[in-house]
Amino acid sequence: MEPEVQEEAREDHDDKQVVSEIMARCFIPTLVTSISWEAFRFVGHEIRITEAMDCYGAVVWPSALVLCYFLETNAKQYNMVDKNVIEIGAGTGLVSIVASLLGARVTATDLPELLGNLQYNISCNTKMKCKHLPQVKELSWGVALDRNFPRASSSFDYVLAADVVYAHPFLEDLLLTFDHLCKETTIVLWAMKFRLEKENKFVDRFKELFDLEEVSSFPSLNIKLYKAVKKNRRNA
């Protein structure tokens, strides 16, 4: 077997092995209740998430599992303890819950119509379990950023995002939001599933403002995990 073929086969095997481990963190509850929920295991806890199948933002997508797994397995390198963390497009809240269980001061954000379910999931899974009580806050991308998240008082060590780029008309607003929330020292950890050409175009636009590094790739899921920091514009 040619070396290139051997390397490709090894990478494919590694990808499937890690993806299998990630997906194993999700399990179907044996207890049947009137409320539909899904269970996950991260950071030594069983996390129960209530979903709403009629809304994209209230479903746990694979990118969220990838980001949760990364936070848990890289907790020493990306230490969340006492760090100020904001998640944009938090959806069901799974990523924010995991970051909270890892010791972060978390602000979970999303559109107003998703905040009820988001608050419910976060409250149920973090009460009496976390060092810092997570906050839930409305954030419509690109809207009233200076008023709701003033740069003078909003300082985040990490911005987390999972599957926030897809076929929606708010990509420029999303980019503006990333830019507003980040200082030069802020680290963005972003998991993204590639579906259409729009994803590639957004990455290109993102790279105009941020230094972007691909941390992990999961070809079988078509998901990539990125780390980013703001470009030093004074030296650009």
pLDDT single digits (tens) 180-207: 999 999 999 999 998 777 677 889 999 9
pLDDT exceeds cutoff 60 at 218: yes
220, 16 Cβ separation under 8 angstroms: yes
Residues in the chain, overall count: 236
Nearest to 65 by CA among 84, 49, 83: 49
**Domain membership of residue 98 as a residue range:** 2-230
The answer to whether residue 235 sits within a structural domain is no
The answer to whether residue 143 sits within a structural domain is yes
And the tokens for 19?
Answer: 């993806």
The answer to whether residue 153 sits within a structural domain is yes
Is 93 in a helix, a strand, or coil? coil
In the prediction, which pLDDT does 170 show? 86
Beta strand ranges found along the chain (DSSP E): 26-27, 37-42, 45-50, 84-88, 105-110, 135-138, 158-162, 187-193, 210-218, 223-230
In the prediction, which pLDDT does 27 show? 76
Nearest to 174 by CA among 151, 156, 199, 197: 199
Count the domains in the chain. 1
The answer to whether residue 93 sits within a structural domain is yes
- pLDDT confidence tier of residue 67, bands split at 50, 70 and 90: very high
The answer to whether residue 95 sits within a structural domain is yes
- pLDDT confidence tier of residue 5, bands split at 50, 70 and 90: very low
Q: Is 26 left (phi over 0), alpha (psi -120 to 50) or beta?
A: beta
Average pLDDT score over the chain: 88
The answer to whether residue 236 sits within a structural domain is no
In the prediction, which pLDDT does 7 show? 53
pLDDT exceeds cutoff 80 at 112: yes
193, 61 Cβ separation under 8 angstroms: yes
And the tokens for 171?
Answer: 């990509």
Percent of the chain with pLDDT over 90: 67
Rounded to 5°, angle at Cα 60 from 196 and 50: 150
Give the domain CATH number at 186.
3.40.50.150
pLDDT digits 0-9 by tens, 136-167:
999 999 999 999 999 988 899 999 999 998 76
Chain centroid to CA 224: 12
Stretch 18-22: mean pLDDT, rounded? 90
